[in-house]
Chain A
Amino acid sequence: MIAEILSLSATLDDMIRSGSPVLEFPTSRTGDSRIGTFQQNPRAVDYIIESDTPERLIKRVSEPGL
C-alpha cells in the first residue's frame, strides 16, 4: 500500500506541475488563503488519552470541536 501512496504522490506532483488539476483551498474573508492559524485555538482539543489502559483513557478537556 505504501507503494501505491508513493506512486500516486508522484503522479499528483507531476499533474500539479503541469497545471491540471489546480488545487483549490478555502479562502479567508480577506481572500488570503496562504496561511492559517486555527490550530492555535485551544478548543481544538476534544479528549485526551491519559493512560495506557482503555478503562481509564478518556478525559474530556474542552468543548467539542474547535
Chain B
Amino acid sequence: MDTYFRHRPFGHLLIAPVLNAPLEGALLSEFERFGWERRADTFYRFDVPRDGASKARILAMMHAPCLEIKSVLEPFLGCNLNGATQLEIHRYGKGDGIGPHTDAATPEVRCVININSGWSIADGAIWALAADSALNAERTQLPSISNSAFAFSTGSTTFHALSIRYAGIGYAVTIRFPRR
C-alpha cells in the first residue's frame, strides 16, 4: 500500500495498490455476480447492490483493509477516525457518472477505491478534483485504474466528480470514516 499526499486542489492522499491482488480479484468476481438496481437523479447515474447479503460479504472481505486504510489515513489527514466505518458500493456502466459535489454535509474522511477489469482514457470515468463547483480552481484529474484510491477529509471546497463512462464497467467502493 503505497501513498502520495497532494495539497491541491484540496488535501488528498493517493493510495495504490490498496488491496492485495487476490482480494481485488475476489471483489471484482463478487461484483460481477451481484444483482444491481438503478440510482439516478439530478446529477448522478449509477447502480447499487440490490441484495443485502451480497453487500454483507463485501463488508466482511473489506474488514481488514478498512482497518489498514484507517491507520494510514489518520496521520496524513490529521484526524481521529474512531467512529463507525461505513461502506458504499457503486457500479458505473456506459453513460454513468457523478457531477461535482463536496460531501461536506457529512464530516468524514472518505476513501474512494476504483475496482474494474481494466481502464483506459478512452473509457471515460475520469475523476476530477477541484476547489470550486465549476471545476476550474486548481483542477486536477485522476485515472480510474483498478485498485487505486484517493482519500480526503470532506469540506466546503472538496469538489470531486466522475466523468461519464463511455465504455466498460467500473466499481467505486467508498469507505466512510466519521471524523471526530
| Contacts A/B (CB < 8 Å), 15 sampled | A5-B4, A5-B145, A5-B148, A6-B4, A9-B142, A23-B124, A25-B99, A33-B100, A34-B135, A35-B159, A36-B43, A37-B101, A37-B105, A58-B60, A66-B41
Check B98 against A49 for contact (C-beta < 8 Å).
no
B80 interface residue per 8 A CB criterion: no
Q: Are B161 and A25 in contact (CB under 8 A)?
A: yes
Compute how far the CA of A49 lies from the CA of B174 in the bound complex, rounded to whole angstroms: 13
Q: How far is the CA of A38 from the CA of B32 in the complex (A)?
A: 25
Contacting A at CB under 8 A, from B1-23, are 2-4, 14, 16-17
Q: A47-B55, A48-B84, A49-B84 are in contact. List 11 more A-B contacts (CB 8 A).
A: A1-B16, A6-B4, A16-B141, A25-B43, A30-B42, A35-B99, A38-B101, A46-B49, A47-B56, A58-B59, A60-B52
Chain A residues near B67: list those with CB within 8 A.
Answer: 52
Chain A hits for B170, CB < 8 A: none
- Near A by CB (< 8 A), chain B positions 137-175 give 139-143, 145, 147-148, 159, 161-164
Are A65 and B99 closer than 8 Å at their CB atoms?
A: no
- Whether A49 contacts B52 by the Cβ 8 Å rule is no
**Chain B contacts of A8 at CB under 8 A?**
142-143, 145
Q: Are B44 and A38 in contact (CB under 8 A)?
A: yes
B164 contacts A26, CB within 8 Å?
yes
- Note all chain B residues with C-beta closer than 8 A to A37: 101, 105
Instruction: Report chain B residues within 8 Å CB of A54.
Output: 60, 63
CB within 8 Å of B: which A1-16 residues: 1-2, 4-6, 8-9, 12-13, 15-16
Q: Are A36 and B3 in contact (CB under 8 A)?
A: no
Q: Is B27 in contact with chain A by the CB < 8 A criterion?
A: no
Taking CB as reference atom, which chain B residue is nearest A53?
A: B63
Which B residues from 114 to 131 make CB contacts under 8 A with A?
121, 124, 126, 128
Q: How far is the CA of A29 from the CA of B105 in the complex (A)?
A: 22
Determine the distance from Cα of A36 to Cα of B163 in the docked complex, in whole angstroms.
14
Chain B residues, Cβ within 8 Å of A1:
2, 16-17, 145, 147-148
Q: Does B121 lie within 8 Å of A21, measured CB to CB?
A: yes
Q: Which of B17, B86, B100, B141 contacts A9 (CB 8 A)?
A: B141
The answer, among B39, B48, B141, for a CB contact under 8 Å with A13, is B141
Give A65 Cβ to nearest chain B Cβ, in Å.
4
